[in-house]
Chains A and B, each alone.
Chain A
Amino acid sequence: MKEYNFFLGCIAPNRYPGIEASAVKTSRKFDIELRDFKGASCCPAPGAFGSMDVNAWLALGARNICLSEKEGKDIALICNGCYKSLFEANHRLKADPAMREKVNSILANIDYEFQGSVEVRHLIDILYNDVGPEKVKESVEVPLTGLNVAIHYGCHLLKPKFDRTFGSSERPRFFDELVEALGATSIDYKEKMMCCGAGGGVRSYKMDLALDIANEKLYNMTQAGADVIVDVCPFCHLQLDRGQVEIKEKFGDVYNLPVLHYNQLLGMAQGMNPEELGLDAHEISVEPLLAKIL
């Protein structure tokens, strides 16, 4: 069994506990244990912090990594924003001795030192590269045949390309393969790689603009015949789920398109019931989806 320190981030545990629950439960099927990560703080948010002061952003991120280094455990996470903060902090501080020295001088205030001894992994990366689509497929009890999935990769998972290890940042396939392993169909839609609209502080700063972007994305997904949106980021998730309510209020457009985190979709396919996956906590009802699957 491989153990990871499970970095929850802020949005999943506070807004979508089902994302957290589904990640822990589905991973156990592959002998992966996501342990409580004691003492972890906010990642911190890459757009808000990273654009203000890179060193402070890296130092706060590195503090979380240091905690895991003390336990000798790699970190697993389920949020693209956390991924950007922690993966990049880890990646850059390992590669750049000057930057590392700067950050370590900040960490010295709390007697921490970044060693560079652990890895930071997104759960989707672990599922694809360590578990593999074949094993994921073997774990399926309820194949999601006929389900049209609009995949939303999310920006921070793939970009900037030079700080990532997924290969293609414009036409990636790994997430599609993992969805297709569940029996579902990953549909192509216009501007598939477009942002959800929330990131970079846009959702907090200019809601109208953020929703306008999400609206276009939702329209394109609907046009392509999507039954469900599947993401790997609680912030994208919030934007595409809660955003539908806000879009209805602001623009009057109605989609009622259910939104699932990949681990929730995986849980469904592994035969878990909707309550244990926290699907009832979503703003947009997943009922039509359940009707289609079950």
Chain B
Amino acid sequence: MDEEKRIGVFICHCGTNIAGVIDVKELAEYAKTLPNVAHAQDYTYMCSTPGQAMIRDSIKEHNLNGTVVAACSPRLHEPTFRKATEEGGVNSFLFSMANIREQDTWVHMEEPEKAMEKAKDVVRMEVARASMLEPLTPKTVPVEKAALVIGAGIAGIQASLELADAGIKTYLVEKEPSIGGNMSRLDKTFPTLDCSQCILTPKMVDVERNPNIELMTYSEVEDVSGYIGNFDVTIRQKSRYVYEDKCNGCGKCQEVCPVSRPNEFDLGLMPRKAAYVPFPQAVPLKFTIDMDSCIKCDLCKGEEACGDLEAIDFDKPDELTTVKVGSIIVATGFDMYDVERKEEWGYKVFDNVVTGIEMERLISASGPTGGNIIRPSDGQKPKSVGFVLCAGSRDQDEEDGAKPYCSRVCCMYSLKHAHQLIEKIPGCVPYLFYMDIRSFGKAYEEFYYRIQNEGGKFIRGRVARITEDPITKNLTVTAEDTLLGTPVEMEVDLVVLANAVVPAESTQKLKTLLTLSNSPDGWLLEAHPKLNPMSTTTDGVFLAGMCQGPRDIPDVVAHAAAAAAAASIPIHKGSVTLEPIYAIVDQEHCGGCATCIGVCPYGATELNEVDSKLVASVNEAKCKGCGTCGSACPSGAIKMQHFTNEQIMSEIEAFAQGW
């Protein structure tokens, strides 16, 4: 630190982004007048190859031992300029970035004189900080060659298969008794009309057979600790009350079980027993006993049923397993919007108002009606069906929990339903009440034309209300036809509400465990909405599928594969480099008060006994460098590297000099 400080200041024009507002030449001249500045210059694009070379060469030419680049946000080019500094032979942490674009010339473009003043302030502050910076060395830690995927819908299945095929041991955790998720509920998939189960089950079987995948169904993640490369995950395998290794899936327990209750898989449209598999193609084909409805009659254990297999044990406890993984993919999917809250449409009040996913079960050959589309009130085939699109999507009614975003799947699956109705019931007319038909994907618009030609009727207007004729149970749909500019009323036999998709309730707990956040719409927040939609702000944790936002199956599969690729990178590299921007505890001064333990949002601080005295320490890998512990520490024993008190104070002092 005693060495004379020689700072180089590099002012970026950023085309006209910066130079169009302030005089960069003047700023460079100003920088030269600041203490410790040995060199200052400006250039059109500092981030370009010649710009970087300029930094590298200037360091050598002017014998610099610190750099400041006044340009954009460090979120964009801090790594670039750190590297250029390093190439010049100076420790990369002796570089500091002055943001004079996002925080100055962009927001103050109408006031160039004030923008110039602010640019001077910012440069002065960063020069002061750069004079106080200390060289740091990044740390490398080894990475566990295994991954965890949470959720086994199509997203989790795809991600697991990709990881496993890349040679990575993958733990796939699913809370339900079977994998498959919502896709296994669907009949056909738009726009190609291939059968959902037919394309999904091969993948489900692959999951079960892949030697690199350890499937844990009826299981939930209980706890996560550690950090990228080294996560310790505790998984609760809920008791099925059936030994999976003994159960051969014969189903005799189900045959004799006297209990009947609504099957969740069929959204309650069909009954199941207390001993059950959710659907015939379930993977694994192991029975589960739902202890909440079991009456313990013991029939399933009897001679006629499980008998000598002895697979059933009512006292079988939950099991906790701990696995060590290098990266984690969250693929927890979505829930359906509770459309009952839209009272005007009468869901659960009128027999013949169903939701889109219920319609899937009504069409499905494995569904409650064996694929016969009938209306619930009387079992008759509907001859006219009204579709309410955007049922809870693109709707700003916060009171009813509706969502302002587009759910991205409802237009297309409603078109598909319309096609299936026309195909299966001669003479049946589907009426689609829509705001806009969003058929944006490959071959989607063509599918829309196809349904128009097949006889689907499209009415552009939101449905104001639905009323029921108490005798016929027919429904009258009232809407405004915004193309004709007139109110319309239409009597139909059945109404399908294309209800919105909403963030899954089950994701909430994971958010805390993995320190993830969500965007304002409630979906999990990605690292970058465009350039990194499969990563999170927690290193080593990735997102696949709907948990990040509404998307259809092709997009989910692509997203899941991207997440798998991203998650495999640290594993294949074998080690990860950790930023040295973490807190360190001066254990001489630490009083062991544990204040830092309570305030750390990442669980990175811990209390240990050293020389029979309780002192705090910081797990360097878990620490995100937020500095909360440092500011909370009553004895000033915590030093936040790269943001030390001295460094921050020097910035404040430099700022104050401008007043």
Binding site for B on A (CB under 8 A): 161-162, 168-171, 188, 190-191
Q: Kindly state the separation between the CA atoms of A188 and B397 in the bound complex, as whole angstroms.
A: 28
Residues of B contacting A169 with CB < 8 Å?
343
B448 → A minimal CB distance (Å): 32
Interface string of B390-405 (1 = CB under 8 A from A): 0000000111000000
Residue of B nearest to A172 (CB): B343
B490 → A minimal CB distance (Å): 16
Contact of A161 among B346, B399, B470 (CB under 8 A): B399
Q: Kindly state the separation between the CA atoms of A87 and B227 in the bound complex, as whole angstroms.
A: 55
Task: Tell me if B399 and A162 are in contact (CB < 8 A).
Answer: yes
A96 → B minimal CB distance (Å): 16
Interface string of B450-491 (1 = CB under 8 A from A): 000000000000000101001000000000000000000000
Residue of A nearest to B345 (CB): A170
Residues of B contacting A170 with CB < 8 Å?
343-344, 346, 465
Taking A170-B344, A190-B470, A191-B467 as given, write out 4 further A-B residue pairs in contact, using a Cβ cutoff of 8 Å, ordered by the A residue number: A162-B399, A169-B343, A170-B346, A190-B467
Residue of B nearest to A188 (CB): B470
Q: Kindly state the separation between the CA atoms of A188 and B349 in the bound complex, as whole angstroms.
A: 14
A225 → B minimal CB distance (Å): 13
Residue of B nearest to A170 (CB): B343
8 pairs, CB–CB < 8 Å, chain A vs chain B: A161-B399, A162-B398, A162-B399, A170-B343, A170-B344, A171-B343, A190-B467, A191-B467
A11 → B minimal CB distance (Å): 28
Residue of B nearest to A192 (CB): B467
Most buried by B among A168, A169, A170, A188: A170
Task: Tell me if B467 and A168 are in contact (CB < 8 A).
Answer: no
Residue of B nearest to A193 (CB): B465
Interface residues on B, range: 10 to 19
Residue of B nearest to A163 (CB): B399
Q: Kindly state the separation between the CA atoms of A169 and B344 in the bound complex, as whole angstroms.
A: 9
Residue of A nearest to B342 (CB): A170
B342 → A minimal CB distance (Å): 9
Q: Kindly state the separation between the CA atoms of A76 and B540 in the bound complex, as whole angstroms.
A: 61
Task: Tell me if A168 and B399 are in contact (CB < 8 A).
Answer: no
Q: Kindly state the separation between the CA atoms of A191 and B470 in the bound complex, as whole angstroms.
A: 11
Residues of A contacting B465 with CB < 8 Å?
170
A278 → B minimal CB distance (Å): 35
Residues of B contacting A162 with CB < 8 Å?
397-399
A241 → B minimal CB distance (Å): 26
A126 → B minimal CB distance (Å): 24
Interface string of B96-120 (1 = CB under 8 A from A): 0000000000000000000000000
Residues of A contacting B467 with CB < 8 Å?
190-191
Residues of B contacting A191 with CB < 8 Å?
467
B497 → A minimal CB distance (Å): 15
Q: Kindly state the separation between the CA atoms of A180 and B371 in the bound complex, as whole angstroms.
A: 45
Q: Kindly state the separation between the CA atoms of A102 and B215 in the bound complex, as whole angstroms.
A: 63
Residue of B nearest to A167 (CB): B343
Q: Kindly state the separation between the CA atoms of A161 and B398 in the bound complex, as whole angstroms.
A: 11
A160 → B minimal CB distance (Å): 9
Residues of A contacting B470 with CB < 8 Å?
188, 190
Residues of B contacting A168 with CB < 8 Å?
343
Residues of A contacting B349 with CB < 8 Å?
171
Residues of B contacting A190 with CB < 8 Å?
467, 470
A167 → B minimal CB distance (Å): 10
Q: Kindly state the separation between the CA atoms of A170 and B397 in the bound complex, as whole angstroms.
A: 15
A189 → B minimal CB distance (Å): 10
Q: Kindly state the separation between the CA atoms of A170 and B464 in the bound complex, as whole angstroms.
A: 12
A63 → B minimal CB distance (Å): 29
Q: Kindly state the separation between the CA atoms of A161 and B399 in the bound complex, as whole angstroms.
A: 8
Residues of A contacting B344 with CB < 8 Å?
170
Q: Kindly state the separation between the CA atoms of A23 and B467 in the bound complex, as whole angstroms.
A: 34
B147 → A minimal CB distance (Å): 46
Residue of A nearest to B349 (CB): A171
Q: Kindly state the separation between the CA atoms of A210 and B525 in the bound complex, as whole angstroms.
A: 52
Interface string of B305-345 (1 = CB under 8 A from A): 00000000000000000000000000000000000000110
Q: Kindly state the separation between the CA atoms of A171 and B468 in the bound complex, as whole angstroms.
A: 13
Q: Kindly state the separation between the CA atoms of A162 and B396 in the bound complex, as whole angstroms.
A: 12
Q: Kindly state the separation between the CA atoms of A171 and B346 in the bound complex, as whole angstroms.
A: 9
B140-155 interface with A by 8 A CB criterion: none
Q: Kindly state the separation between the CA atoms of A169 and B349 in the bound complex, as whole angstroms.
A: 14
Q: Kindly state the separation between the CA atoms of A103 and B346 in the bound complex, as whole angstroms.
A: 39
Q: Kindly state the separation between the CA atoms of A90 and B399 in the bound complex, as whole angstroms.
A: 20
B620 → A minimal CB distance (Å): 48
A254 → B minimal CB distance (Å): 25
B512-543 interface with A by 8 A CB criterion: none
A277 → B minimal CB distance (Å): 34
Q: Kindly state the separation between the CA atoms of A168 and B400 in the bound complex, as whole angstroms.
A: 10
B180 → A minimal CB distance (Å): 36
Q: Kindly state the separation between the CA atoms of A191 and B489 in the bound complex, as whole angstroms.
A: 14
Residue of A nearest to B346 (CB): A170
Residues of B contacting A171 with CB < 8 Å?
343, 349
Interface string of B353-367 (1 = CB under 8 A from A): 000000000000000
Residues of A contacting B397 with CB < 8 Å?
162
Q: Kindly state the separation between the CA atoms of A188 and B344 in the bound complex, as whole angstroms.
A: 17
**Nearest 9 A-B pairs (CB), nearest first?**
A170-B343, A162-B399, A170-B344, A161-B399, A171-B343, A168-B343, A191-B467, A169-B343, A171-B349
Q: Kindly state the separation between the CA atoms of A13 and B343 in the bound complex, as whole angstroms.
A: 36
B566 → A minimal CB distance (Å): 42
Q: Kindly state the separation between the CA atoms of A169 and B343 in the bound complex, as whole angstroms.
A: 8
Q: Kindly state the separation between the CA atoms of A266 and B470 in the bound complex, as whole angstroms.
A: 30
Q: Kindly state the separation between the CA atoms of A239 and B397 in the bound complex, as whole angstroms.
A: 32
B388 → A minimal CB distance (Å): 15
Residue of A nearest to B469 (CB): A190
Residues of B contacting A188 with CB < 8 Å?
470
Q: Kindly state the separation between the CA atoms of A162 and B398 in the bound complex, as whole angstroms.
A: 9
Residue of B nearest to A224 (CB): B470
B307 → A minimal CB distance (Å): 52
B470 → A minimal CB distance (Å): 8
Q: Kindly state the separation between the CA atoms of A168 and B399 in the bound complex, as whole angstroms.
A: 11
Residue of B nearest to A169 (CB): B343
Residues of A contacting B343 with CB < 8 Å?
168-171
B396 → A minimal CB distance (Å): 10
Q: Kindly state the separation between the CA atoms of A171 and B344 in the bound complex, as whole angstroms.
A: 9
Residues of B contacting A161 with CB < 8 Å?
399
B331 → A minimal CB distance (Å): 36
Q: Kindly state the separation between the CA atoms of A170 and B346 in the bound complex, as whole angstroms.
A: 9
Q: Kindly state the separation between the CA atoms of A162 and B399 in the bound complex, as whole angstroms.
A: 7
B560-590 interface with A by 8 A CB criterion: none
Q: Kindly state the separation between the CA atoms of A170 and B470 in the bound complex, as whole angstroms.
A: 17
A5 → B minimal CB distance (Å): 30
Q: Kindly state the separation between the CA atoms of A168 and B348 in the bound complex, as whole angstroms.
A: 15
Q: Kindly state the separation between the CA atoms of A169 and B398 in the bound complex, as whole angstroms.
A: 15
Q: Kindly state the separation between the CA atoms of A265 and B399 in the bound complex, as whole angstroms.
A: 34
A92 → B minimal CB distance (Å): 15
Interface string of B625-652 (1 = CB under 8 A from A): 0000000000000000000000000000
Q: Kindly state the separation between the CA atoms of A171 and B397 in the bound complex, as whole angstroms.
A: 18
Residues of A contacting B399 with CB < 8 Å?
161-162
Q: Kindly state the separation between the CA atoms of A191 and B346 in the bound complex, as whole angstroms.
A: 13
B273 → A minimal CB distance (Å): 35
Q: Kindly state the separation between the CA atoms of A162 and B401 in the bound complex, as whole angstroms.
A: 12
Q: Kindly state the separation between the CA atoms of A140 and B399 in the bound complex, as whole angstroms.
A: 37
Q: Kindly state the separation between the CA atoms of A190 and B467 in the bound complex, as whole angstroms.
A: 8
Q: Kindly state the separation between the CA atoms of A168 and B340 in the bound complex, as whole angstroms.
A: 11
Q: Kindly state the separation between the CA atoms of A161 and B470 in the bound complex, as whole angstroms.
A: 26
Residue of B nearest to A164 (CB): B399
Q: Kindly state the separation between the CA atoms of A169 and B397 in the bound complex, as whole angstroms.
A: 14
Q: Kindly state the separation between the CA atoms of A213 and B198 in the bound complex, as whole angstroms.
A: 54
Residue of A nearest to B343 (CB): A170
A290 → B minimal CB distance (Å): 31
B266 → A minimal CB distance (Å): 27
Residue of A nearest to B467 (CB): A191
Q: Kindly state the separation between the CA atoms of A170 and B349 in the bound complex, as whole angstroms.
A: 11
